[in-house]
Amino acid sequence: MKHKPLLLSVVAAMLLVLSAAGTSFGRSAAAPPSVTAAAGSTAGCGKAPALTSGNHTIQSGGQTRSYILRIPAGYDNNHSYRLIFGFHWRGGTAADVDSGGTDGYNWSYYGLRRLADNANNSTIFVAPQGNGNGWANSGGQDVAFVDAMVSQIEAGLCVDTTQLFSAGFSYGGAMSYALACARASVFRAVAVYSGANLSGCNGGTQPIAYMGLHGLRDNVLPIQSGRDLRDTFVRTNGCTPQYPPEPAYGSLTHIITTYAGCRSGYPVVWAAFDGAGHDPGPIDGSTGDGSAPSEAAATERFLEFSEKWGTKYPAVIKLWSDAWAEMVPFLSFDVEIRKVICSTNAIESVNARIRKAVRARGHFPSENAALKCVYMALMSLDPTGKGRRRWTMRWKAPLNAFQIAFEGRLTPTTSN
């Protein structure tokens, strides 16, 4: 049996939200009566575009902020385009959202760009850059930043003012939630991937089409935080309250629920998944840590991979086949232990920062001087200390797994 990527179901659910909200990626549809009055073409319609695809800066709240703009090929200044904002996660960048990161085009703007490109290039995309690679929204500065971008884009391009959307993962999901609260009259719908109330909620009393996605095993932003965000708009949108079904722990599946009784044009959709933790692209049957849940599942996925790519990349298939016996024992370890083993890239990234600091100094008069240099390099990675607190929480599950797997070989640290 082939595992179905949850992302496909999530995109389908998002389409349900968008279509119920008065739009589709194939064509424009009539907006609900409450929004129709605000419908209209922007000042950029009928004029030569004043903006181009690429990096842009803008002044907002006394700061110089930046964003990436992606205009459809064959842009027509007499056609009103949908406008979608994609907000990056904590430590991510606008470039990550725009490019799709390591997954490339298929994950650009959380998979929505490819979807839009296959539907007549109907969408303008925006990837804003957060201060400090986050969205604290102190004093509402990030919402004001969005206001400034919307004004600039609508003045320079032809935008359908009833078709503004926002999507984001983690901190970006928090920012999308903040916009749902504060700018429900501007945005038509939001999609919040594994979010929490980190960017504030100034409002939350006006209806907006809402979709939430969250994992049961999320140990960064627990699923209850996503449920709380969802319930804000279950109430505001007048939906019938319920406890939506969620997959059993260990099932490695997902369940998508569309709430009943919501105001026309303002649906609420909830997608809960088991397997991956804090992950924007979970896959059914996978724990999201780069490995299958068992040897049998790994063999099944490898056979699928071989069938698809064996002809084009026979050397790669042979490499995996030859090393299969050495790789399989890895799957006997607990998932939390596998995550630690797969974290070598993050560790090497820290080592690289230390090496850079040491090379810059060149010479140390004493061992303490060298240790201070290393200490300062490490502290510069997390100047506020928030990251250390978060990583301390993340280590609880792996340490418990290590304690079980290697009983008697770990000595708990005691404090006097």
Q: Which pLDDT score is estimated for 2?
A: 39
Whether residues 124 and 185 share a domain: the answer is: yes
What pLDDT does residue 33 have?
33
Q: Which pLDDT score is estimated for 247?
A: 94
Q: Locate 21 and state its tokens.
A: 């909200």
Q: What is the pLDDT of residue 35?
A: 35
Query: Is residue 323 situated within a structural domain?
Result: yes
Same domain, 327 and 386: no
The answer to whether residues 313 and 384 belong to one domain is no
User: Does a structural domain hold residue 44?
Assistant: yes
Model-level pTM? 0.70
205, part of any domain? yes
Residue ranges for the chain with pLDDT beneath 70: 1-40, 102, 288-294, 335-336, 339-349, 386-395, 411-416
Q: Which residues of 36-64 are buried (b: 16+ CB within 10 A; e: fewer)?
A: eeeeeebebbeeeeeeebeebebebeeee
Same domain? For 35 and 78 the reply is yes
* Count of positions (residues) in the chain: 416
Q: Is residue 283 part of a domain?
A: no
pLDDT at res. 347: 66
Q: What CATH number does residue 176 fall under? A: 3.40.50.1820
Domain presence at residue 197: yes
Residue partners of 365: CB distance under 8 A and separation at least 6: none
412 assigned to some structural domain = no
Please give the residue range of the domain that contains residue 353. Answer: 340-405
Q: Are residues 88 and 232 in the same domain?
A: yes
pLDDT tens, residue by residue, 180-226: 999 999 999 999 999 999 999 999 999 999 999 999 988 889 999 99
Which residues is 160 bridged to in the sheet?
A: 41
Query: Is there a domain that residue 315 lies in?
Result: yes
Is residue 124 located within the same domain as residue 210?
A: yes
Give residue 281's identity as a one-letter amino acid code.
Answer: G
Same-domain pairing of 111 and 186? yes
Beta bridge partners of 41: 160
Per-residue pLDDT reduced to its tens digit, 341-350 = 665 556 666 7
Number of compact structural domains in the chain: 3
Domain assignment present for residue 124? The answer is: yes
Torsion 297-302-305-306 (CA) sign: negative
Residues 318 and 387 in one domain: no
Same domain as 366, residue 243 = no
- Supply the pLDDT for residue 301: 75
**End residue of a domain, out of 305, 332, 359:** 332
Considering the domain architecture, whether residues 101 and 149 belong to the same structural domain is answered as yes
